Amino acid sequence: MTTNNEALQQWIDEVAAITSPESIHWCDGSEAEYQSLILDMLESGDLIKLNEKSYPNCYLHRSDPSDVARVEHLTFVCTPEEGDAGPNNNWMPPADARKKMDDLFGGCMQGRTMYVIPYCMGPIDSPFSRCGVEITDSPYVVVNMNLMTRMGAPALKRIEQDGTFVRGLHSIGSLDPERRFIMHFPEELLIQSFGSGYGGNALLGKKCHALRIASTQGRQEGWLAEHMLIVEVENPQGEKHYLAAAFPSACGKTNLAMLIPPESHKGWKVRTLGDDIAWLHLDESGQLRAINPEAGYFGVVPGTNVNTNRNAFEMIQSDTIFTNVAVTDENEPWWEDKNIGTPSVDWKGQPYNPDNGPAAHPNSRFTVSAKKNPTYSSLADDPAGVPISAIIFGGRRRKLAPLVFQARDWNHGVFVGAGVASETTAAASGQVGVVRRDPMAMKPFCGYNFADYWSHWLSFGEKSNQLPGIFHVNWFRRDESGRFLWPGFGDNLRVLRWIIDRCEGRAEAIETPIGFLPDPSDIDVSGLDMRDGDLEELLRVDREAWIEELKSIGDYLNDFGDRVPQQLKTEQRKISDSLPDNYRLITMA
Ligand code: GTP
Ligand code: SPV
Ligand code: MN
């Protein structure tokens, strides 16, 4: 393969001159190429073949133990003005960052193959899709990109037609955490990542391109790039709704996108459009539509079993790359809460010993093509995307946030999104279980100043009068003993039903200062054995605690200074002022 796109050819030549690879391999995205790279990696030890009978075409990759998650402290947005990156990002002047990275990349591919991966985020023929080229020295990245994106010859053709693409340069370097950086240059549509071979740090189409760079493009061009799943819910009468939900990393997007209706919900169908990223745009009629830029899943493995997510469990039974799971004596992959088999070798390759911690890394992941999902919706390939009925924000919070509430209107919904908080998870390096603000689940992924991002969100309210309803959910409330109050997983459909009914104007709600809540009788709990009082507790608004929460959100917004849109401050004041008021019952919306 070669290209007639001069900018692309020139960049490849430049990169080769700096990194000095032994050879250059243009990726065509074919099955033959995939299998041949797998063979190379089996030989080099980068991959281990898993049990061929029970897990056909499945492989295990063990990353460096220092390189198992996203590294937010080493991720930078390099805009000319520091204020444009905002307090939500680490910032470095572009020239300094380029110099630092050129030094690291110097000669780093000596003796190695340099892979050139043209890829398309979104259906090849969609006007909303955007292309990129990743250059990497990691064959593991190539096979993951093969599963996660539409890559190879068709993408290159589109790049040559469009004439524009995002450049992503990646090298695993020596995997030294002291020499690890993930740099973004939004003005130049450029990403440079060095020193990590793990997921979002290395598969540059995903978070680096489809969220950080795309969010800045979306702001300029009038659309949104969001950390959202897209799911279709069909009721027994055949009525379909599409929901987009933003939850922070490892907070339930993959699970909700692949939801299996509970026994009591015969005739309901749920189909997956996407599990991690959504690009949202208004069509001519003012309807918000979404495409999933990805073509595969990079999902959390631990906790996946026949009860929590049978679809995912079956999907990863073949044609899957596992990263950092344990293995059994039968050479099958193993992880915590798999509920089948016993681990003999842990994720680091050591004999399993419970004293050393979990057998599988808590952020171990599967990579698999979306087509393998038993509930895959072919609408994921529709160039026009799907119409969104509701936007759902959520977080992982033991306390405070009720099971579900609805924002009064768009501006309030943007405020609810901006105020999202969640306990940190193993998806990012650092402490786990600490509540932090994670607006719209985009804290690690927004490529520009959050204050400007909220203004961009608010601007949609002026462009359309038929925007989706905005909701907030929390599947993770617990009682004093640590027990989850809500069964979660498939039973989350019960909450989605209320959300859809609200959008259709056929469900009642109680108006409270924080938004509209269902009465406990509005949530169908048939077939559930919940303890008395649990649902009431899940739907209670603790006024004292919310007064504190509103103060804390106000302080957080103030951290962003004068750029924070006035509308958000108004929402904050309105809610704070009305928290001491009494509830009113309203009927319908
Ligand atoms: P990223 O891929 O990191 O963006 O995460 P994600 O939001 O797709 O998270 P995922 O669906 O993989 O969920 C991760 C963890 O949350 C797993 O341990 C799940 O078992 C757990 N989880 C998901 N849904 C629920 C739920 O409804 N209730 C409870 N209690 N746990 C859940
Ligand atoms: C996340 O952390 O939100 C992920 C995994 O989806 S990674 O792509 O590695 O960021
Ligand atoms: Mn994610």
Is the confidence at residue 522, as pLDDT, over 50?
yes
70 lines ligand 2 (CB under 6 A): yes
* pLDDT value of position 583: 55
The whole-angstrom separation of Cα 41 and Cα 452 is: 44
Which residues are the active-site residues? 251
Q: Give the DSSP letter of residue 505.
A: T
Q: Tally the C-alpha atoms within 13 A of residue 476's C-alpha that lie toward its C-beta.
A: 19
| Residues flanking ion ligand 3, Cβ below 5 Å | 249, 276
249, 425, 432, 442: which to mutate for ligand 2, most atoms within 8 A of CB? Answer: 249
Residue 132 has pLDDT above 70, yes or no: yes
- The residue to mutate among 198, 230, 251, 306, having the most atoms of ligand 1 within 8 angstroms of its beta carbon, is 251
Evaluate the CA torsion angle 557, 562, 564, 568 in order and state its sign: positive
Q: Tell me the CA–centroid distance for residue 260 and ligand 1, in Å.
A: 14
Question: 177 and 66 in contact (C-beta within 8 Å)?
Answer: yes
Ligand 1 touching residue 311 (CB < 6 A): no
Does residue 356 carry a pLDDT above 90? yes
CA 68/CA 478 separation, integer angstroms: 28
CB-ligand 2 contact for 68 (6 Å cutoff): no
Would you state the structure tokens that stand for residue 381, as one six-digit string?
């390939």
Ligand 3 centre distance from Cα of residue 249 (Å): 5
Break the chain down into helix, strand, coil percent, rounded to 5. Answer: 35, 25, 45
Query: Quick one: which ligand is closest to 206's CA?
Result: 2
pLDDT digits (tens, 9 = 90+) for 373-394: 999 999 999 999 999 999 999 9
Centre of ligand 2 from the C-alpha of residue 183, in Å: 16
**229 in ligand 2 pocket by Cβ < 6 Å?**
no
Q: What's the CA angle centered on 107, arms 132 and 65, to 5 degrees?
A: 75
Whose Cα sits closest to atom 3 in ligand 2? Answer: 249
- Tokens matching residue 385: 């995307």
Question: Do residues 206 and 148 lie in contact, with contact meaning Cβ atoms separated by under 8 Å?
Answer: yes
Instruction: For residue 472, give the DSSP letter.
Output: E
CA of 296 to the centre of ligand 1 (A): 17
Contact 328, 344 (CB under 8 A): yes
CA-closest residue to ligand 1 atom 28: 488
Q: What is the mean pLDDT of residues 498-514?
A: 96
pLDDT value of residue 30: 97
Q: Which of 121, 145, 255, 276 to mutate to test the pocket of ligand 2 (most atoms within 8 A of CB)?
A: 276
d(CA 545, CA 514): 12
Give the Å distance between the CA of 365 and the centre of ligand 3. Answer: 11
CB 72 within 8 A of CB 438: no
Euclidean distance between the first and the last CA atom of the chain, given in angstroms as a whole number: 57
Q: Is the pLDDT of residue 589 over 50?
A: no
In one letter, which amino acid is 187? E
> Which residue, 219, 199, 167, is CA-closest to 294?
199
Any ligand 1 atom below 6 A from CB of 538: no
- DSSP output for 232-290: EEE-TT--EEEEEEE--TTSSHHHHHT----TT-TT-EEEEEESS-EEEEE-TTS-EEE
Instruction: Please work out whether the CB of residue 298 comes within 6 Å of at least one atom of ligand 2.
Output: yes
Cβ atoms of 466 and 356 within 8 Å: the answer is: no
Mean pLDDT of the chain: 96
Which of 74-88, 227-241, 427-441 bottoms out in mean pLDDT, i.e. has the lowest? 427-441
Mutate which of 300, 301, 489 for ligand 1 pocket (most atoms within 8 A of beta carbon): 300
Query: Residue 357, by phi and psi: left (phi above 0), alpha (psi -120 to 50) or beta?
Result: left
- For every residue of 45-104, DSSP letters joined together read TS-EEPPTTTSTT-EEE---TT-SSB-GGGEEE--SSHHHH-TTSEE--HHHHHHHHHHH
Q: Where are the alpha helices (DSSP H) in 106-167?
A: 139-148, 153-162
Q: How far is CA 532 from CA 71, 163, 369, 536, in A?
A: 43, 62, 42, 8
Residue 308 CB less than 6 A away from ligand 1: yes
Give bridge partners of residue 171 from the DSSP assignment: 194
Closest C-alpha to 79, from 60, 95, 100: 95
Ligand 3: centre distance to CA 206 (Å): 9
Q: What value does the mean pLDDT take over residues 64-91?
A: 97
247 lines ligand 1 (CB under 6 A): yes
Burial class (CB in 10 A: 0-12, 13-18, 19+), 375: middle
Radius of gyration for the chain, computed over Cα atoms and rounded to the nearest angstrom: 23
pLDDT band at 345 (very low <50, low <70, confident <90, very high): very high
pLDDT in tens, 121-131: 999 999 999 99
pLDDT score for 2: 83
Cα–Cα distance, 315 to 296 (Å, whole number):
11
Give the model's pLDDT for residue 584.
54
Burial of 39 (0-12, 13-18, 19+ CB in 10 A): exposed
CB 102 within 8 A of CB 192: no
Percent of the chain with pLDDT over 70: 98
Q: Report CA(101)–ligand 1 centroid distance (Å).
A: 35
pLDDT tens digits for range 221-278: 999 999 999 999 999 999 999 999 999 999 999 999 999 999 999 999 999 999 999 9
What's the pLDDT score for residue 588? 46
Is residue 184 within 8 A of residue 447, CB to CB? The reply is yes
Question: Would you call 183 helix, strand, or coil by DSSP?
Answer: strand
Grade residue 207 by pLDDT with cuts at 50, 70 and 90. very high
pLDDT at 103 over 50: yes
Q: What is the dihedral of CA 439, 444, 449, 455, to 10 degrees?
A: -30
The finding on whether 251 has its CB within 6 A of some atom of ligand 1 is yes
Bridge partners, 151 (sequence order): 119
Nearest to 252 by CA among 70, 474, 420: 474
